């Protein structure tokens, strides 16, 4: 077996690992690059293999940095199956069309307002491309070894993180390779912990928070304080949030805070993301994949007023009374949240609350880093609102939690590749694995091929 690292090295985005054995080829994850321009440009570059000669794709989960390149892969000639857990299939059916729609909308907006350097600006792919790619999805049950290509078997193990998230175990030629995907947290209030794995010959482990420890503070208390002081200033709490995972955690916390009286029960909460609403409903359908009771699930779903139309979305920007607005995208790279940032970021009474990892090069990373302004739709927008980063809402294990999970292995893998992290995070985790566990490990380079025997 051999592996080629085609994404998620030196970055948390663009996850793509090509696994080959004999004449068979399987791609684990098919994600979009996001953030720095030189990374985003990779989405437009040709793949180093012929999509038509790929036998299958296996997805760890539905987040776009793991699945969002699929419509392009299919358009470029890939005609095989895309294996994923049932919840990942259901989420992909929501996320991929939305991604296609968003790409078209952004290209159209750029052309209408003439701020793109490209004439005309083209979408990376369209809604139709995304819908076509969904036909390739094939549901794979948990813990079932499926032959996905000649000589290659794949088994999915629950990874926590978000609904449907899986670790992918690949076996070929008597060798096993485990790809961790995004690892969830052991004590997440909503998601189950990542499954313990006893052994693998080779391991790919994510390192998003490889150099960090999530603060031990009480998330609910911190969130309540932020909302209360913003409300006291008559401000809006604007929360850019990933539609799947983070948004539901936030809604769950808001539901609990309202119930306990920590924030006013009548403080309006708007969920300005129709897609997030559809994703939230899946928590009812996939009860066994999370820890919420049916009543909690119901409470979480009902805490927010759903904004569906563009008109309603626009009218939120005229609001003068305190409210909480949750809107995608989570790193402020696109979506309706951009319009809210234009309206609310210039005023000190408001708060911009970030709730997840901000990849380098995104507007989110710039705002968290203290920038005085960001460019949105060709316009410089000053940031005078309070900016808060609430790391504890993360759906990713921190460094200590990753090491604790690795410690569950009965024997060390022959080699561990540290992936899915920005350079400092990946290297910090590599050093800790080498010194604390004494496992052979390395951080691979983009495009590198490694023989696994």
Neighbours of 349 (CB within 10 A): 17
Site string for Zn ion, 352-391 (x = CB under 5 A): ----------------------------------------
Q: Which of 25, 63, 214, 258: binder of Zn ion (CB under 5 A)?
A: 63
- 182 by DSSP, 3-state: which? coil
Query: What does the alpha-carbon distance between residue 67 and residue 113 come to, in Å, rounded to a whole number?
Result: 30
Least Cβ distance, residue 226 to Zn ion (angstroms): 24
Within 230-249, which residues bind Zn ion (CB under 5 A)? none
Site string for Zn ion, 158-187 (x = CB under 5 A): ------------------------x-----
User: Which residue, 176 or 207, is less far from Zn ion as judged by CB?
Assistant: 207
Least Cβ distance, residue 228 to Zn ion (angstroms): 30
User: Which residue, 239 or 303, is less far from Zn ion as judged by CB?
Assistant: 239
Least Cβ distance, residue 32 to Zn ion (angstroms): 12
Least Cβ distance, residue 453 to Zn ion (angstroms): 30
User: Which residue, 15 or 24, is less far from Zn ion as judged by CB?
Assistant: 15
Total binding residues toward Zn ion, as defined by CB under 5 A: 2
* CB environment 94-117: b (16+ within 10 A), e (fewer): bbbbbbbebbbebbebbeeeeeee
Least Cβ distance, residue 294 to Zn ion (angstroms): 26
Q: Give the closest residue to 389 by CA, choosing from 452, 322, 339, 332.
A: 332
Least Cβ distance, residue 66 to Zn ion (angstroms): 6
What DSSP element (H or E) covers 68? none
- Contact between 278 and Zn ion by CB under 5 A: the answer reads no
Tokens of 306: 């759903």
Contacting residues for 435 by C-beta, under 8 A, at least 6 apart: none
Within 305-344, which residues bind Zn ion (CB under 5 A)? none
Least Cβ distance, residue 395 to Zn ion (angstroms): 7
User: Which residue, 63 or 336, is less far from Zn ion as judged by CB?
Assistant: 63
Within 182-221, which residues bind Zn ion (CB under 5 A)? 182
User: Which residue, 164 or 322, is less far from Zn ion as judged by CB?
Assistant: 164
User: Which residue, 20 or 182, is less far from Zn ion as judged by CB?
Assistant: 182
Any bridge partners for residue 269, and if so which?
A: 324
Note whether 166 and 181 are within 8 A (CB): yes
User: Which residue, 104 or 182, is less far from Zn ion as judged by CB?
Assistant: 182
Span from 14-22, 63-71, 272-280, 374-382 in contact with Zn ion (CB under 5 A): 63-71
Q: Give the closest residue to 177 by CA, choosing from 442, 415, 420, 438.
A: 415
Least Cβ distance, residue 425 to Zn ion (angstroms): 15
Report the length, in residues, of the chain: 453
Least Cβ distance, residue 156 to Zn ion (angstroms): 15
Strand ranges across the sheet with 146-149: 146-149, 152-158, 166-172, 175-179, 202-206, 415-419, 441-442
User: Which residue, 151 or 186, is less far from Zn ion as judged by CB?
Assistant: 186
Whether residue 120 is preceded by a cis peptide bond, meaning omega within 30 degrees of 0, is yes
User: Which residue, 190 or 387, is less far from Zn ion as judged by CB?
Assistant: 190
Contacting residues for 373 by C-beta, under 8 A, at least 6 apart: 380, 381, 382, 383
Q: Give the closest residue to 288 by CA, choosing from 278, 279, 301, 297.
A: 297
Catalog residues that contact Zn ion under the rule CB under 5 A.
63, 182
């Amino acid at each position: 077996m051999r592996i080629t690292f085609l994404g998620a090295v030196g970055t948390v985005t663009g996850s793509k690992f090509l696994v080959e054995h004999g004449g068979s080829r399987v791609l684990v994850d098919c994600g979009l690059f996001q953030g720095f321009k030189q990374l985003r440009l990779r989405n437009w570059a040709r793949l180093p293999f012929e999509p038509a000669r790929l036998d299958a794709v296996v997805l760890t989960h539905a987040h776009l940095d793991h699945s969002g390149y699929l419509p392009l892969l299919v358009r470029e000639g890939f005609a095989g199956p895309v294996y994923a857990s049932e919840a990942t299939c259901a989420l992909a059916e929501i996320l991929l069309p939305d991604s296609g729609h968003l790409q078209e909308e952004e290209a159209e907006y750029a052309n209408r307002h003439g701020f793109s350097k490209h004439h005309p600006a083209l979408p990376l792919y369209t809604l139709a491309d995304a819908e076509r790619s969904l036909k390739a999805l094939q549901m794979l049950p948990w813990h079932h070894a499926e032959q996905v290509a000649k000589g290659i078997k794949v088994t999915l193990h629950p990874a926590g993180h978000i609904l449907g998230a899986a670790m992918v175990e690949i076996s070929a030629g008597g060798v096993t390779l485990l790809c961790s995907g995004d690892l969830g947290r052991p004590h997440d209030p909503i998601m189950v912990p990542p499954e313990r794995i006893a052994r693998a010959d080779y391991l790919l482990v994510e390192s998003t928070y490889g150099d960090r420890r999530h603060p031990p503070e009480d998330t609910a208390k911190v969130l309540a304080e932020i909302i209360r002081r913003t409300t006291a200033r008559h401000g809006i709490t604007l929360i850019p949030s990933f539609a799947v995972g983070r948004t539901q955690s936030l809604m769950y916390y808001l539901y609990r805070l309202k119930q306990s009286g920590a924030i006013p029960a009548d403080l309006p909460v708007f969920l300005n993301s129709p897609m997030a609403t559809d994703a939230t409903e899946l928590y009812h359908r996939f009860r066994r994949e999370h820890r919420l009771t049916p009543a909690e699930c119901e409470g979480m779903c009902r805490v927010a007023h759903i904004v569906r139309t563009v008109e309603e979305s626009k009218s939120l920007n005229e609001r003068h009374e305190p409210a909480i607005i949750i809107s995608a995208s989570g790193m402020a790279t696109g979506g309706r949240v951009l319009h809210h940032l234009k309206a609310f970021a210039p005023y000190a009474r408001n708060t911009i609350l970030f709730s997840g990892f901000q990849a380098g090069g995104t507007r989110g990373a710039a705002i968290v880093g203290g920038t005085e302004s960001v460019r949105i739709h060709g316009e410089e927008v000053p940031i005078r609102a309070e900016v808060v980063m609430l790391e504890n809402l993360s759906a990713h294990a921190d460094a200590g939690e990753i090491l604790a999970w690795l410690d569950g292995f009965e024997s060390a893998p022959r080699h561990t590749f540290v992936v899915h992290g920005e350079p400092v995070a990946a290297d910090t985790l590599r050093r800790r694995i080498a010194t604390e566990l004494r496992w052979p490990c390395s951080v691979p380079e983009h495009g590198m091929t490694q023989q696994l025997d």
